[in-house]
Amino acid sequence: MELPSKLLENAVNEISQLPGIGKRTALRLVLHLLRQPVEQSEDLANALLKVRGEIKYCSGCHNISDKEICQICENPGRDKSLVCVVEDVRDVMAIENTGTYKGIYHVLGGKINPIEGIGPSQLNIVSLVEKVKSNDVKEVIFALSSTMEGDTTIFYIYKQIKDYNVKTSTIARGIAVGDELEYADEVTLGRSLQHRIPYEQSLNQL
């Protein structure tokens, strides 16, 4: 794709470095910005600079936060002995939306992924192990996606904390509420049979 302007080419190249955005989409976005008032581009650029330069992470759980301690960690009503380990802020938001979890979180900031060059040292694992060592934690819940990377990350952390006085658990895998059995994959269906629960218990969850 040969563009008639270096400025345009530069902008297209920068935008197309974002995940899921190719050169054509990048060009469409730049042409859109060129048709909008100059303020829109300025606001966008400033928002990007500000969020990258000034973003803070909660010193307790490493979640994104505007303050030193995030709202969840500073809430006295949350159970500090129950720690849910997640990948990033999106998972925290998803679990908070269920309204059923009363513990705190620990945000890893990613998953171990040798192909993308992400090792354990780039994730917030040391501080999690320290928390467990300090004996304040009764249970660690692993809420990572069950992919190769997720399972590797869980196993790596598990090995480091298993000798301490702490319970570990992973979220239940099973058929999603409302889903048809016939479309479920075999692994999920198999696990949902294996980890079946008493019917009376399921009634209480309605």
Closer CB to a copy of itself, residue 90 or residue 159?
90
Sign for the pseudo-dihedral over CA of 158, 161, 163, 169: negative
Binding site for a copy of itself (CB under 8 A): 1-8, 10-11, 13-15, 17-21, 25, 27-35, 38, 40-56, 63-66, 70-71, 88-90, 92-93, 109-110
Minimum distance, C-beta of residue 18 to a copy of itself, in the bound complex (Å): 5
In 3-state terms, what secondary structure has residue 118? strand
Q: Which is nearer to a copy of itself, 117 or 178 (CB)?
A: 117
Sheet harboring 103-107: ordered strands across?
103-107, 79-86, 139-142, 167-170
- In the complex, minimum distance from the CB of residue 57 to a copy of itself, in angstroms, rounded to a whole number: 10
CA distance 52 to 180: 43
Question: Least Å distance between CB 68 and a copy of itself?
Answer: 13
- In the complex with a copy of itself, which residue's Cβ is closer, 18 or 193? 18
- Give residue for tokens 């990258």: 52
Q: Which residue has the tokens 């966008």?
A: 44
Give 47 or 187: the residue with its C-beta nearer to a copy of itself. Answer: 47
Residue among 87 and 161 whose Cβ is closer to a copy of itself: 87
124 conformational bin, left if phi > 0, alpha if psi -120 to 50, beta if neither: beta
In 3D space, the residue among 182, 162, 180, 174 whose CA is nearest the CA of residue 202 turns out to be: 174
> Closest separation between CB of residue 93 and a copy of itself, Å?
7
Nearest distance, CB of residue 204 and a copy of itself, angstroms: 28
Separation CA 78–CA 13 (nearest Å)? 45
